[in-house]
Chain A
Amino acid sequence: MAISAAAVAAGCTSEDWSFRAERVSKIYNGSLLANDAITLQVQPGEVYGLLGPNGAGKSTLVKQVIGLLKPTSGRLSIGPFDLVADPAAARQLCSYLPQAPMPIDSFRVREVIELTGRIRGGGRNEVRRRAAGLISALDLGEWAGTMGQRLSGGIKRLVGFSMVTVWPGRVVILDEPTNDVDPLRRRLLWDQIRLLGQQGCAVFLVTHNVMEAEKSVDRLAIIAGGRLIAEGTPSSLKAADRGHLRLQVMLAPGAATPELPPWVRHHVRAGHNLITAIGEADAARGIGWAAGLIGRGAAEEYALGATSLEDVYIRLTGQASAGGPGQD
């Protein structure tokens, strides 16, 4: 393990444990640009969302952070540690919950959480206490002694989350942590993610579920086509959409996208759903237009409501997110 005494000494005295990505680019096979000069910073205590459609380059970025991939160019660091030059330090400073299933089939729930905590460097008693806390907080008690292979997908996901956070690194990377988790425990999981931030971790949350992220992140970046196309707090990103409303029309099965009136600011089609943004002053015209579509049999129903981060996401990426309108 190549961790120099000087680096450790530097780490001990450093106050700034921010995670930084500076102009990180990743090119696969000499031509496929998966990340294009991405620059961002996550402070300790911050829950930072990385949002984007499938194939946007989110997972590529986090795999470079954890040392599974090497950037073609650019710098990744946590405090004084250069993660590209020192992947061993990256693995110690980061906890990583991948999107893929965790290898827990042959383990009991409490056992695998505690064992991972011990591997991550926690003391026996502290790890035992924190594992018990997570099992209780995520309502996993009835499965504590159950083998992994007998668990449902959602419970496995929560066990995976507990494994990587029972003794967390300074940066906790969670790739789609709520996948398969039921709505009740999803809330408990978000509580724990927030708590990680309160305990001083920088939480790097990868998701394409904008509606969930909006409620839980401090700041977020939207990434598309490998580029970081927007960054800020949810409020600041929504600022550009103030004064807009979302008019969502569920089109009849097989119906083509209707011709759009000129006052529709932007639109995206996701399955049967046509999601548009209109000005507040155009609300009455919008209702009339949607009602006309229903009258002609081109649509089945419509809904008019306030815009959300989802609409920012739709405007920037041209796609609806998972869990958003039009996603089953």
Chain B
Amino acid sequence: MAGYASPLALPLPRGGAAHWVRSYWTLIRWHLAGLRMWLSLLATIQVLAGAGFIFGIALFFRHIPATAALFVCTGVPVINLVMVGLILGPQLVAEQKLKGSYEFTRSLPVPKTAAAGAWYTVCLLAGLPAVAVSLLLAEARYGIAFTVSPSIVPAVALTAFTGTMLGYGLGHAIPNPMTTRLITQLLIFAIFGYVPILFPAAQLPGWLVEVNGWLPFGHMAVIVRAGLTTGLVTGVAASYAIVAAWGALGVALSGWALGRRG
């Protein structure tokens, strides 16, 4: 017999902080290795998408008002931050369900919170380079002098968290991969056109302003803007609360979906 015969220390169930941390790190490695063929392409698309908005707006209008340029350039980082977690994340889960590998992933012995935490970390890491490049491009194109404050750190962290958790929850909760694809397409459509990320909310019809008041995306833009500018936005505390509430909803949805047994 070709083989080896090492004695096995068969496992007992583990728990506690050490098990959580180990699961978290090994899953980050799992995701980074699993996405390695796509990471450079993903980063390039993220940068190009940001550059597309920043430079593209100048193609529509000969003279760009400074405030309009500022709104676009402070909105692009929000799109960079949520694109991976909110759009790509659920599509990857849908693909796993389609290919049948979802069951193996679900059978891995890791805490649900460690799995979600690892995916959040990967999405944040995937978004940050594009955010930095977008801001540099904005400075170069429009001469914007951002006034970066420490609040940018929680704003970026919370925006990516809420986007990632909502995407994570949707991906795991929706049984049909096709439905997931349609919903993510709809989200892209809505975020680019009908959500006050790249422009002030006041430019939307009143009812859409009301709807967006309850949705997280416009508020993500408010808290990120508050960390990059001075005096541009108001009601920042309320925006933090709404984004955090949606993040909590994403966590609850994820917990329910991953704990569900048919």
Contacts and interface: CB of A to CB of B under 8 A. Distances in A.
A88 interface: yes
Given A88-B13, A101-B100, A168-B8, A70 B262 contact: yes
B74 interface: no
A68 B99 contact: no
11 contacts: A7-B13, A66-B107, A81-B13, A88-B111, A115-B33, A119-B23, A121-B14, A129-B6, A168-B8, A169-B10, A195-B1
A92 B108 CA distance: 8
Interface of B: 1-8, 10-15, 19-20, 22-23, 26-27, 29-30, 33-38, 96, 99-101, 103-112, 261-262
A121 B103 contact: no
Contacts of A188: 2
Interface string A1-35: 10100011001100001000000000010000000
Given A87-B261, A106-B33, A195 B3 contact: yes
Contacts of B261: 67-70, 87
Interface of A: 1, 3, 7-8, 11-12, 17, 28, 63, 66-70, 81, 86-89, 91-94, 96-103, 106-107, 111-112, 115-116, 118-121, 126, 129-130, 133-134, 136-137, 139, 160, 167-170, 188, 191-192, 195, 198-201
Nearest to A60: B262
Nearest to A165: B8
Given A111-B33, A119-B110, A137-B3, A92 B104 contact: no
Contacts of A112: 33
A120 B2 contact: no
Given A68-B106, A92-B109, A107 B101 contact: no
A8 B103 contact: no
B108 A136 contact: no
Nearest to B36: A106
A68 B262 contact: yes
B96 A103 contact: yes
A120 B96 CA distance: 20
Contacts of A133: 3-4, 6
B100 A94 contact: no
Given A1-B15, A96-B107, A101 B101 contact: yes
Contacts of A192: 3
Contacts of B26: 115, 118-119
Contacts of A97: 104
B104 A100 contact: yes
A92 B11 contact: yes
A198 B186 CA distance: 54
Contacts of B14: 3, 92, 121
B11 A195 contact: no
Contacts of A137: 2-4
Given A81-B13, A168-B10, A107 B104 contact: no
A8 B13 CA distance: 7
B103 A89 contact: no
B11 A199 contact: no
A103 B30 CA distance: 11
B34 A103 contact: yes
A100 B108 contact: no
* 3 cross-chain pairs, A with B, having the tightest CB-CB distances, nearest first: A100-B100, A133-B4, A103-B101
Given A103-B105, A107-B33, A69 B11 contact: no
Contacts of B106: 68
Given A120-B109, A200-B8, A136 B2 contact: yes
